Structures are given as C-alpha cells and as structure tokens.
C-alpha cells in the first residue's frame, strides 16, 4: 500500500511541491519509455501547479515533446452554434487548458486530449433522451446522475455518444498504455471530475453526467458562470474507475471548503458518497496515492492524524 498525505503551508507551497512531484515522475518514467502520459484536471486548484510546471519546462527541466495528456472532463451545453464555438468558449475546459498550461509552454506537448463534450449539442441530447427512454438509465443515489446509454440503444445519436464520445476516449487511453500520473482536485462533496457523489464506483470508465445542483452552484460561486441558468447542466467525465487506473494519482486540495471531504476520504471506509475515497481501494491494489493539501484544507486531517495513520496512510506535515 502506498498512500501519503503531504500538508503544505499555503496554495503556492502546495502548487510548487505538487509540480516537483509531477516533474520528478516524468523524468524517472522517461528513462524507461519514449512517451509520458499525463492526466490533467481543471478548476482553480491546479492552476498554481501548471504555472510552476510551465516555468520549469521552459527552463529545460523536462522535454514536453515526449508528453501526451488526457483531461478528466468537459462540459456539455456551453453556448455556441457548433463544436468549435463551444470548445473556444471561455468556460470550456479546452480553453482553460490553453490559457492555464498549453499556451504557456514553449515546447508543446506531443498530443493533448480533452473529452469531446463540445461535439454534443445539448438540445439534441435532451430531445433524444426524452424520445428514447428505453435507451438509457440513470445511476446514482444523489442529485447528480450518470446517464448510462445502453449498448443496444436504438437512437443513432445516443449510440454515437456512447461509442464515439465515451468508449472511444477510454479506449484511446488504453492504447497509449494508460496514464502514468493523474492530477485531480476535490469537489465540495468529495467528487472527482464530474463523477458525482452517489454514482457507483465500478462499471463507469467514462460518464455522461447530469450535474447535481451543488456542482453547478460551486461553478457559479467560483466565478465560472454568472448564474445557474447560464451554467451547463451536463458533462462528459472520466469515472473513478478510469481515474484510478493511472499508475499514480496526485490529489490537490486547498481551502476551507475541502476540509470535510478530504477528511472523510481518509477516516472512513470507501463509499460512492465520497468518490475520492476510492483512493483507498486504489492504493491497496498497488497504485500510488498522494494527497498534497494546504494547512487550511488539512484542518481535520491534522486533528485526526493518529486515526488516519492507523489506517496505513502516511502523513507528512510540511506546514510549520
């Protein structure tokens, strides 16, 4: 079992330390193979990591031309008349990655991939879901639901989404040999990417998700959208089954909003109600699980350090 929690002073310390973990893993891995496969996340949390990473890369610390990347998720339902307009919307995750990382790199990655949610027209999706109720089913115990399209779907559009948007993405990752290191953040209820609280762990490599109200509210609160009405309500996302198929998973968390889900994922047994708790299963199966969190986000971790350590999880406090 390899599960370590590193507590840092603040956001910048967290970001710089996490960037060094990524860079070290890239260097070590490229000794043994020609291409490194990096899993990336969006949101406010990894932005500092990306700045430190780009600075180091531009200084020659690593060769970005040997890196291929796969992002966790992408919205469905962004404004735009076509896929190109939706992909270039300021709140698309494709745009985010160009702004926060890809555009900062002097030597570009060999290849970049973001889930192909912008290819889906949300109005058409809703129409097909309503017209073909036998082609799909909902999964999940909370408000955020996975829309599982059946293998024998009669709707050509829904079948296309399953085969060419969902299955094609995870199959491409498999063809590349899997992800070497996956960066993730933490949602307010312990979700990873758009794998919402209550969606089953198993059988969900890639998800079409109807977002829960808390996720939409957080997107508005974080300033990504002006209102709930203007925020997309669907997304394409890796599920935890695919996220935690990486060799290493690096979880970043900072701030008071992350205190409870971070602690719950470490103190209690794994549960789909807290999707990041899958990290415990992942580490027991041989994966390398690393949390890098700031002192504020680690409040309850520090209060319960002995209990967490008794679960076989190593804690290193660098916040003093």
CA distance 86 to 240: 26
Residue 229 reports pLDDT greater than 80: no
Residue 310 reports pLDDT greater than 70: yes
Neighbours of 104 (CB within 10 A): 15
In the sheet where 111-113 sits, what is the strand order? 111-113, 67-71, 36-40, 181-184, 248-253, 288-294, 2-8, 314-317
Running DSSP on this structure, what letter comes out for residue 274? B
Domain count, the chain: 1
pLDDT of res. 1: 64
CA distance 270 to 101: 32
Domain that holds residue 294: 2-317
Running DSSP on this structure, what letter comes out for residue 303? H
pLDDT in tens, 113-136: 999 999 999 889 999 999 999 999
CA distance 243 to 184: 9
Give the residue carrying structure tokens 């000794």.
Answer: 31
Q: Which residues pair with 36 in a beta bridge?
A: 67
Instruction: Return the structure tokens found at 16.
Output: 């710089």
Which of 51, 27, 26 has its CA nearest to residue 39?
26
- Please tell me the pTM assigned to this model: 0.95
Percent pLDDT > 90 in the chain is 84
pLDDT in tens, 50-91: 999 999 999 999 999 999 999 999 999 888 889 999 999 899
Which of 232, 310, 244, 247 has its CA nearest to residue 280?
244
- How high is the mean pLDDT of the chain? 94
Neighbours of 273 (CB within 10 A): 17
pLDDT of res. 217: 82
Residue 158 reports pLDDT greater than 70: yes
Residue 228 reports pLDDT greater than 90: no
CATH of the domain at 274: 3.40.50.1360
């Amino acid at each position: 079992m390899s599960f370590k929690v590193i507590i840092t002073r603040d956001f910048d310390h967290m970001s710089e330390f996490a960037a060094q973990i990524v860079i070290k893993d890239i260097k070590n891995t490229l000794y043994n193979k020609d291409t490194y496969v990096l899993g990336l996340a969006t949101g406010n949390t990894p932005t500092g990591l990306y700045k430190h990473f780009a600075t180091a890369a531009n200084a020659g610390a690593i060769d970005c031309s040997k890196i291929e990347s796969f992002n966790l998720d992408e919205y469905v339902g962004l404004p735009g008349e076509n896929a190109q307009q939706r992909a270039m919307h300021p709140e698309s995750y494709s745009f985010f990655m160009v702004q926060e990382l890809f555009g900062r790199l002097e030597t570009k990655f060999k290849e970049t991939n973001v889930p192909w949610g912008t290819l889906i027209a949300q109005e058409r999706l809703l129409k097909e879901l309503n017209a073909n109720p036998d082609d799909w089913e909902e999964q999940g115990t909370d408000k955020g639901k996975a829309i599982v399209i059946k293998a024998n779907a009669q709707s050509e559009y829904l079948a296309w989404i399953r085969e060419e948007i969902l299955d094609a993405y995870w199959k491409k990752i498999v063809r590349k040999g899997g992800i070497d290191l996956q960066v993730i953040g933490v949602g307010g209820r312990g979700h990873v990417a758009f794998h919402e609280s209550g969606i089953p762990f198993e059988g969900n490599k890639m998800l079409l998700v109807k977002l829960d109200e808390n996720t939409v509210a957080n997107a508005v609160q974080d300033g990504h959208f002006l209102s709930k009405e203007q925020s997309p309500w669907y997304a394409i996302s890796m599920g935890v089954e695919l996220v935690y198929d990486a060799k290493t998973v690096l979880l970043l968390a900072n701030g008071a909003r992350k205190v409870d889900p971070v602690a719950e994922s470490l103190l209690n047994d794994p549960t789909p109600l807290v999707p990041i708790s899958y990290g415990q299963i992942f580490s027991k199966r041989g994966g390398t699980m690393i949390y890098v969190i700031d002192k504020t986000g680690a409040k309850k971790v520090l209060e319960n350090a002995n209990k967490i350590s008794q679960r076989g999880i190593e804690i290193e406090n660098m916040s003093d």
